[in-house]
Amino acid sequence: MILTVTLNTALDITYRVGALRPHASHRVSDVTERPGGKGVNVARVLAALGHEATVAGFAGGATGQVLRERLAGVPGVTDALVPCAGATRRTIAVVDELTGDTTQLNEPGPQIEPAEWSAFLDRYEELLPSASAVALSGSLPPGVPVGAYAGLVRTARAVGVPVLLDTSGEPLRRGVAARPDIIKPNAEELAELTGSHEPSRATQDARRRGAHAVVASLGPQGLLAATPEGRWRAAPPARVHGNPTGAGDSAVAGLLSGLVERLSWPERLARAVALSAATVRAPAAGEFDAAAYEDLRARVAVAGVVSVA
């Protein structure tokens, strides 16, 4: 079982419109709802790849109830969410069908009380012995300590469970110091962490700060990885247009599944890039186009994974 932690879960709602215009009314051609939040997206992709995944975090209010009902219908995903009094947030993605661009609106998360945080920590420690790997993903809702991820990394490492951390800002800075096995920042998050806007230098610096391996997302340019075994860059064969929501989470699923399956780093990166690009092509947030994934995976593995000096 792979454990994914989403402290700030969400109900992802995707609207599709013919063309998005400011200050205008729009007729929505299609609406989809999915249980979301970064770690929930990771779990759904892991399950589609054939791995058992367990989702931990918080869910509350009417939105949280809908999220849990939808999550119950996802094969291979187990709900281990802790109830909270506050309402789970919604995220709204508006897809412009004319341009393929997406506009994202993210609500704030619920206030987490000390007793609720304590209940989550108990649940986390109960789940770890059965986990082959852990993903700690996304923002921290109000009330959760800023050093929360650092503590969760240390707890997992104490029982020998590898950890991937995917967050930003101060939670990332503190989390890196706890020595996670992998971090997956985007270029902006990596620059904020290290002060360097040159990705190759920044990934190396992030490793010196404590991360065992660093996989930086460079958007349409793919991934750049700095690991103890070497450094690689992986890129899709062509730029992919569509809804980018959840693309980074699919990359996390590719990296984690590859770790559990003991794939080489180039194989992990090829899978992660193909999944990310296939997610951009999917019509709804947090899903991936299976046919596109199979096509892209072979082409990334052949042409996209190269060593960098």
Among 48-57, 213-222, 299-308, the range of highest mean pLDDT: 48-57
Q: Quote the pLDDT of residue 298.
A: 67
Confidence (pLDDT) at 301? 45
**Mean pLDDT within 187-212:** 92
Q: What is the pLDDT of residues 26-52, one digit of tens each?
A: 899 888 888 989 999 999 999 999 999
Judged against a pLDDT cut of 60, whether residue 302 lies above it is answered with no
Q: Please provide the average confidence, as pLDDT, over all residues in the chain.
A: 90
pLDDT of residue 237: 79
Q: Rounded mean pLDDT of 254-279?
A: 93
**Would you state the pLDDT for residue 96?**
87
What's the confidence (pLDDT) of residue 278? 85
State mean pLDDT over 242-270: 90
User: Is residue 24 over pLDDT 50?
Assistant: yes
Which of 79, 166, 205, 249 is labelled catalytic?
249
Q: Is the pTM of this model over 0.85?
A: yes
What pLDDT sits at residue 279? 86
Residue 309's pLDDT band (boundaries 50, 70, 90)?
A: very low
174 or 199, greater pLDDT = 174
Which has more pLDDT, 294 or 71? 71
At 108 the pLDDT is 86
pLDDT of the residue at 303: 36
Q: Is the pLDDT of residue 126 over 90?
A: yes
Is pLDDT above 80 for 307?
no
Q: Which residue did the predictor score with more confidence, 22 or 55?
A: 55
Has 249 been annotated as catalytic?
yes
3-state secondary structure the chain: CEEEEECCCEEEEEEEECCCCCCCCCCEEEEEEEEECHHHHHHHHHHHCCCCEEEEEEECHHHHHHHHHHHCCCCCEEEEEEECCCCCEEEEEEEECCCCCEEEEECCCCCCCHHHHHHHHHHHHHHHHHCCEEEEECCCCCCCCCCHHHHHHHHHHHCCCCEEEECCHHHHHHHHHCCCCEECCEHHHHHHHHCCCCHHHHHHHHHHCCCCEEEEECHHHCEEEEECCEEEEECCCCCCCCCCCCHHHHHHHHHHHHHHCCCCHHHHHHHHHHHHHHHHHCCCCCCCCHHHHHHHHHHHHHHHEEECC
Q: Is the per-residue pLDDT at 187 higher than 80?
A: yes
Given a cut of 70, whether residue 243 has pLDDT beyond it is no
